[in-house]
Chain A
């Protein structure tokens, strides 16, 4: 349980000396409780006080970065349920290729998968290179082929020393994640530690060895099932088992397993193969689960096109509350009638809320209408309003020069409504 402002205040000198940069000790205590300041900002907290405070601080999964340049960030999670705060670092999705195969065509295809997810382009984040029992020559060739297409984060599976040496010497700047699954891990620990590369621990013994030897960036190579991963995360965060507070690398067989680990609690997921047929779903699910629930749930206020619109397409008006946008846009899509969707900025409030607080009115709709350029896109001058705001019609028609049609009150009736007005044209 995190300490409250009052609990933190008890650890402070209560002199209001302002050395922490805040006017009073109470105000500083509140800031620390809200995670807007660090306790270390006060020079007068006793050692005991500091110890008490750190005992109650939430545990956190270690954050590990791997890959070239800024790479990808994994781990860093603090809560078991996204609504408690948020999930921070989306699970990295990687696909495995083997050094023993001719991978050029396969890598080209995999890296060519580009999917538009919620207005962003997403691709596979990393590749897992399986170099176990392969020759150094084959391994080198494999890396070269991949890099000839894209220099992306790599997860390197290996069990031979010559490959480990090669990677440490030649690829340090690319910070690949080293998966060195060798029984005799003891003999390699110095080398691994000095390389400063992120490593995966394949056993409790290896994990303990890494921790004891001060290896910083550790990832746990997880071989259990969904329930076991849930246990590991609960033990790490709820029961403060620090040796489990590391990002977890999971290998799955199919897309449903991948989905389950996106929901609970994988940091890196390795797929044996990938196709757009299931990546489309997985990327969408991942974005949804890792969406910060605290961010204002609104979409950009602008003109959206749904389907193949033309000059005769209907114009539908609504607010920029996310759920409103999703409900209305999916109804329009389902109707199969191409339409323009003009989203008015109401600060992320729903139609009724916006109406009640005057965040939507004739002036605002007219402004959005004129600024959107819709008048250059459609030959008609009719717009469909959400049913609840019908009183705005008279003023809106006058100020805009358009004719407002009173649409349904519920989004789910929009499909039928659009069909009915279409048949009247």
Chain B
């Protein structure tokens, strides 16, 4: 057997999850860019995130790129992400829910963003008490369209399952770097009527320099378990460097030893994001436009043009 034949593996493929009008994620049998069956690689998606309200305390490097003005208007911001920055998908983070009484306004914003962009959507909670309520209402509002909604955790499995079944959307399972919890939630959702091809796993992301390696290895382990046949782990993966890199010294502080912050900051996000892709992420969610640009170019190169 020649060497290339040896490298082919009989891996169980990752579930294929519809996303947006005509995209899909998952379906692969190898880690990104390492398809030894020599079929065309599905390219990982580079998504950008916006909030359902203005970006307060925007880091300098993002200000100088997106601009405070754009980032104070969620719809303008979302439009820029699609039309100017080339995002493959959009995550809307419902940060306004951290304050009381913002549910209706949040939903209104989500609706307006949905009307303004054509790329696939992810609606993501803020860790507030109102998350599940608003997420399920958003699902109802946006109906079909293969949007992804999350996080699903051990506390809201039933309600999110119901929403997915009734409104036909995908779900993103959040696990605190614990493979068993991911499996349990997937099993629970499945038992509540959600098909496996409607689930994505978010293992929780850490920035490089701040516990990155845990998330990296958990992703690789989930992938490998899926490839060897564990169907509850054979689900697409999503990572969110944009959520974790923008509060650090390295992306916010001026420091003569560290060079120009406007370059250094997006590079930090890009290196984190690319490394997550290599560990198996089917979607990475980022904030800086330059990150999107350099990642998409590199993904094209790594996919063989």
Stretch at the interface among B47-55, B139-147, B231-239, B254-262: B254-262
Please encode chain A, from 283 to 296, with 1 for each CB lying within 8 Å of some chain B CB and 0 for all others: 01101110101000
Q: Which residues of A contact B206 (CB under 8 A)?
A: 323, 326
Interface segment among A124-132, A231-239, A368-376: the answer is A231-239
CA distance A155 to B224 in the complex (A): 37
Contact yes or no, A256 B271, CB < 8 A: yes
3 closest Cβ contacts across the A-B interface? A334-B247, A284-B209, A277-B259
B249 partner residues in chain A, CB cutoff 8 A: 333
Highest count of chain B CB atoms <10 Å: which of A281, A293, A331, A410: A281
Contact flags (1/0) for B89-107 with A, using CB distance below 8 Å? 0000000001000000000
Task: Tell whether, in the assembled complex, residue A226 and residue B268 are in contact, meaning their CB atoms are under 8 Å apart.
Answer: no
Partner of A82, one of B209, B217, B248, B271: B217
- Give bound CA distance, A285 to B298, whole Å: 17
Chain B, residues 206-225, CB within 8 Å of chain A (1/0): the string is 11111111101100110010
Contact mask for chain A residues 73-114; partner B; CB cutoff 8 A; 1 contact, 0 none: 000000001110000000000000000000000000000011
- Interface members, chain A 12-28 (any B CB < 8 Å): none
B267 near A288: Cβ-Cβ < 8 Å: no
Please pick, from B247, B267, B278, the residue contacting A278 in the complex, using a CB distance under 8 A: B267
CA distance A257 to B271 in the complex (A): 10
Please tell me if the beta carbons of A276 and B6 are within 8 angstroms of each other in the complex: no
Chain B 241-273 near chain A by CB (<8 Å), digits 1 or 0: 000101111100000011110011001101110
Listed residue (B206, B217, B220, B271) with the most chain A CB atoms within 10 angstroms of its CB: B271
State whether the Cβ of B191 lies closer than 8 Å to any Cβ in chain A: no
Decide if A209 is an interface residue (CB 8 Å cutoff): no
Chain A interface bracket (under 10, 10 to 19, 20 to 34, 35 or more): 35 or more
Contact of A330 among B210, B278, B298 (CB under 8 A): B210
A235 and B6 contact, CB distance less than 8 A: yes
**A275 at interface by CB-CB < 8 Å:** yes
Nearest CB in chain B: distance from A342 CB, A: 19
B223 nearest in chain A by CB position? A81
Number of residue pairs A-B, CB distance < 8 angstroms = 136
Fill in one digit per residue for A375-419: 1 if any B CB lies within 8 Å of its CB, else 0.
000000000000000000000000000000000001010011000
Stretch at the interface among A59-67, A160-168, A179-187, A259-267: A259-267
Q: Say yes or no: B208 contacts A284, CB within 8 Å.
A: yes
Does B3 sit within 8 A of A, measured CB to CB?
A: yes
Specify the chain B residue showing the minimal Cβ separation from A323.
B211
Q: Is B248 a contact of A115 with CB atoms below 8 Å?
A: no
Q: Does B116 contact A (CB under 8 A)?
A: no
Residue of B nearest to A258 (CB): B271
Knowing A276-B258, A289-B216, say if A259 contacts B271 (CB, 8 Å).
yes
- Of B4, B177, B224, B267, the contact of A281 (CB 8 Å cutoff): B267
Q: Quick one: which of A227, A288, A336, A416 contacts B216, CB cutoff 8 A?
A: A288
A412 touches B127 (CB 8 A): yes
Instruction: Give the chain B neighbours of A415 by CB distance below 8 A.
Output: 247
Residues of B within 8 A of A (CB-CB), count? 50
Q: Taking chain A's interface residues, is the majority helix, strand, or loop, or is none over half, making it mixed?
A: helix
A1 at the interface (CB under 8 A from B): no
Q: How far is A282 from B259 in the complex, measured between Cα atoms in Å?
A: 14
22 contacts between A and B (CB under 8 A): A115-B257, A118-B209, A230-B34, A231-B4, A257-B298, A260-B302, A263-B278, A263-B279, A276-B258, A278-B264, A278-B271, A280-B250, A281-B250, A281-B271, A285-B271, A285-B275, A288-B209, A288-B216, A323-B211, A330-B210, A330-B244, A334-B248
Complex: A333 Cα to B4 Cα, angstroms: 48
Question: Which A residues fall within an 8 A CB radius of B?
Answer: 81-83, 113-118, 225-227, 230-231, 234-235, 239, 241, 255-257, 259-260, 263-264, 275-278, 280-282, 284-285, 287-289, 291, 293, 297, 322-323, 326-327, 329-331, 333-334, 336, 410, 412, 415-416
Which residues, 1 to 34 on B, are CB-close (under 8 Å) to A?
Answer: 3-4, 6-7, 33-34
Q: Nearest Cβ distance between residue B127 and chain A, in whole angstroms?
A: 6
CA distance A203 to B216 in the complex (A): 34
Answer whether residue B274 sits at the interface, using C-beta atoms and an 8 A cutoff. Answer: yes
B294 at the interface (CB under 8 A from A): yes
Q: Which residues of B contact A241 (CB under 8 A)?
A: 3
